[in-house]
């Protein structure tokens, strides 16, 4: 209390000194990272949670079916034929499913398509358990071809949500590529564990439950779903994918030949049990590189393909030394080089696909990859029988080099068209 000029003024009592807040210098506040900003988009976390749950079975179904059929019927030839027939059916059915998704909406088509696929998995389990005729196994597994392309639908949502934000879109595509690698890295491990530790049908049943649950969570977030697009004559995505589909096929050939050759090479040295961990290391490298690439400035496709061509020569060189020690880091580096290529190539799909046909365009790309994987696996298998388990490492190196020339030529042609009259 004090008196000033005849006026009574109540002054607050001096407060005790307390802890002082840290001084924040202007301009020093850290901005959130690109992934934190990405998942701050309303609804992004919800549909991503469903996306990740539904994605894991993509890496489970094949190995689960092989282990279940071979374990119950005692024939790996039958198991492999059933899975191969299912992949062939997927190559035919998946683009049509994707077209329906684009035309009528994700939730309206994906849920019933998923139910058909789940019923096919349950039918496969029942037929194997009941010792039904072999044709029922082929028919049941073929029904799973209606499984929607969850990765394509998730990428379509990001594209819808991030219009006008190329940097954020690049981060989203990098995350999606990392999610693909994570699913195909963890899926076979989880499936093999369930089929051996529980019972042979456990992998297929768990995958079916996860697929349905994840798809229901994913499609429940309707606010982030891109609007349906009516059919437009002459708007086929195949027009813009003339050189991209061969590129994805060659990349698939590279993946398939590298996997088969690595398994055979390790097996020839008595290390077949390490095939899973070593291949998982390759996928882990791609997953980590994908997340890192999402924080960096995107590069052009020719530059990414050039780095891939150099990296794919490393496993060949490592195997030629006769020592297994350099093979693991060589495969890790080769895996790290694949993520930037896939992210950039998928971005090209977005650029050339007509509006409203994005999911169909990406599904066609995935189908080309699967076809390439089948071709690469078959070619590598024949080469291993004729030349041994080391020389076929030249196949993925040659495929990567072919992808570089194909991608560079395609980008030049696309650039010429964009600046032409």
Angle at alpha carbon of residue 337, lines to 36 and 186, rounded to 5°? 65
What pLDDT does 5 receive? Answer: 40
What's the pLDDT band for 233 if we cut at 50, 70, 90? Answer: low
Instruction: Round the average pLDDT of the chain to a whole number and report it.
Output: 83
Of 379, 260, 281, the closest CA to residue 327 belongs to 281
Mind listing the pLDDT tens digit for each residue in 360-380? 888 888 889 888 888 888 888
What's the pLDDT band for 81 if we cut at 50, 70, 90? Answer: confident
Q: Which CATH number fits domain 235-416: 3.40.30.10, 1.10.150.120, 1.20.1250.20, 3.30.450.20?
A: 1.20.1250.20
Other Cβ atoms closer than 10 A to 272: 13
Contact 88, 373 (CB under 8 A): no
Q: Which CATH number fits domain 44-228: 1.10.4010.10, 1.10.10.60, 1.20.1250.20, 3.40.225.10?
A: 1.20.1250.20
What's the pLDDT band for 66 if we cut at 50, 70, 90? Answer: confident
Stated as kind and residue range, the H or E segment containing 185 is: helix 166-197
Mind listing the pLDDT tens digit for each residue in 6-38? 333 444 444 444 444 444 455 455 566 888 899
* Stretch(es) of the chain classified as CATH 1.20.1250.20: 44-228, 235-416
What pLDDT does 273 receive? Answer: 67
Q: How far apart are CA 119 and CA 251, in angstroms?
A: 32
Q: Could you tell me the pTM of the whole model? A: 0.77
What pLDDT does 420 receive? Answer: 39
Mind listing the pLDDT tens digit for each residue in 395-409? 999 999 999 999 888
């Amino acid at each position: 209390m004090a008196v000033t000029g005849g006026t009574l003024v109540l002054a607050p009592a001096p407060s005790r000194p307390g802890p002082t807040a840290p001084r924040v210098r202007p301009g020093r506040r850290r901005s959130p990272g690109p992934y934190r900003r990405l998942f701050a988009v309303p609804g992004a976390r919800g549909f991503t949670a469903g996306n990740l749950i539904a994605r894991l079975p993509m890496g489970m179904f094949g190995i689960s079916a092989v282990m279940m059929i071979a374990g119950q019927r005692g024939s790996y030839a039958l198991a492999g034929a059933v899975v191969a027939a299912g992949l062939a059916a997927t190559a035919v059915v998946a683009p049509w499913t994707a077209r329906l998704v684009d035309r009528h909406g994700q939730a309206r088509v994906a849920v019933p398509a998923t139910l058909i696929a789940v019923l096919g998995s349950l039918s496969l389990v029942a037929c194997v358990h009941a010792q039904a005729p072999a044709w029922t196994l082929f028919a049941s597994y073929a029904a799973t071809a209606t499984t929607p392309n969850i990765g394509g639908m998730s990428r379509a949502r990001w594209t819808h949500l991030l219009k006008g934000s190329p940097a954020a879109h690049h981060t989203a595509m990098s995350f999606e590529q990392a999610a693909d690698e994570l699913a195909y890295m963890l899926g076979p491990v989880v499936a093999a564990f369930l089929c051996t530790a529980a019972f042979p049908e456990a992998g297929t049943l768990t995958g079916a439950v996860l697929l349905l649950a994840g798809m229901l969570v994913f499609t429940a977030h309707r606010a982030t779903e891109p609007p349906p697009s009516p059919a437009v004559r002459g708007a086929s995505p195949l027009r813009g994918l003339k050189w991209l589909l061969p590129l994805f096929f060659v990349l698939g050939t590279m993946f398939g030949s590298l996997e088969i050759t690595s398994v055979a090479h390790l097996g020839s040295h008595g290390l077949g049990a390490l095939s899973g961990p070593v291949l998982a290391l390759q996928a882990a490298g791609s997953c980590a590189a994908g997340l890192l690439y999402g924080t960096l400035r995107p590069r052009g496709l020719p530059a990414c393909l050039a780095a891939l061509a150099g990296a794919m020569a490393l496993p060949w060189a490592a195997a030629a030394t006769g020592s297994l020690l350099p093979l693991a880091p060589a495969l890790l580096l080769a895996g790290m080089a694949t993520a930037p290529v896939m992210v950039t190539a998928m971005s090209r799909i977005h650029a050339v696909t007509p509006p409203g046909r994005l999911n169909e365009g990406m599904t066609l790309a995935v189908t080309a990859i699967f076809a390439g994987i089948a071709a690469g696996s078959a070619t590598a298998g024949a080469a291993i029988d004729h030349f041994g388990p080391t020389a076929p490492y030249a196949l993925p190196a040659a495929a990567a080099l072919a992808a570089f020339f194909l991608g560079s030529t395609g980008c030049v042609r696309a650039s010429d068209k964009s600046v032409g009259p």
